[in-house]
Amino acid sequence: MAENNEFIREVNEDYRRDQVAAIWRRYSGAIIAVAILVVAGVGGWRYWQHDQRVRADAASEQFDAANRLARDGKIEEADKAFTALETDAPGGYRLLARFRSAAETAKRDAAAGATEYDALAADTGVSDALRDLARLRAALLRLDGPQADAALASLQGLAAPTGAFRHTAREMLGLVALRRGEYDAAGRWFDQINADPQAPQNLRQRIEVYAALVAGGPVTVTAATPEPAAPPPVTR
């Protein structure tokens, strides 16, 4: 019985070897080609990862250098450095450079800075959250200019209940209403902040001050009634 089992096992092993050999003879070219593609693919992937790390490290150094130029007041050099990053840097640093460039431009020219933020807000390749951030910054730059009404409309859109920057938008809308003497409107914006469970604590503390200003209402200044002139001194 044991000899029969041994014989059957040897027959099965011979059969499997013959099958493998037959498969190799028929498909050896394809197998070798697949193996080469796998090795090349892994090698290419590793090279791409290495290249991305090298480019990211270089972009990080260039971004730091551009920031130093901006801090040192070397405006033209900083602009060139940020422009180079916007063109050649990996995606993350390219986007970061665009935001920083817009911020630096806004320091010199609010309208031009807002225009750069508009370009970021219109870029469908940028995430929705970052596009909203660009809209917010553009609106804030325009609040005191001739496009104030458009800026307020943009802030109202950002103040929606699901907006990532709704807290800042509502605060600014309330402050603008307060500055204009529109106390009821200001109170409504501040109430929305208070009713939002996700409103940050430091903002809630500021809202307490704003709410007190709203409760105080407009300050009425009355003209002082002039006192009657003193009688002339009596002379003898």
Residue 229 half-sphere exposure, CB side, CA atoms within 13 Å? 3
Mean pLDDT of 85-93: 69
CA nearest neighbour of 161 among 192, 207, 133, 119: 192
Does residue 19 carry a pLDDT above 90? no
Question: Rounded to a whole number, what is the distance in angstroms from the first to the last CA of the chain?
Answer: 160
Report d(CA 103, CA 81) in Å as an integer.
Answer: 14
DSSP-assigned letters across all residues of 154-222:
HHHHHTSTT-TTHHHHHHHHHHHHHHTT-HHHHHHHHHHHHH-TTS-HHHHHHHHHHHHHHHH-PPPPP
Say what the pLDDT of residue 201 is: 92
pLDDT digits (tens, 9 = 90+) for 140-179: 999 988 999 999 999 999 999 999 999 999 999 999 999 9
64: its two tokens:
């730091």
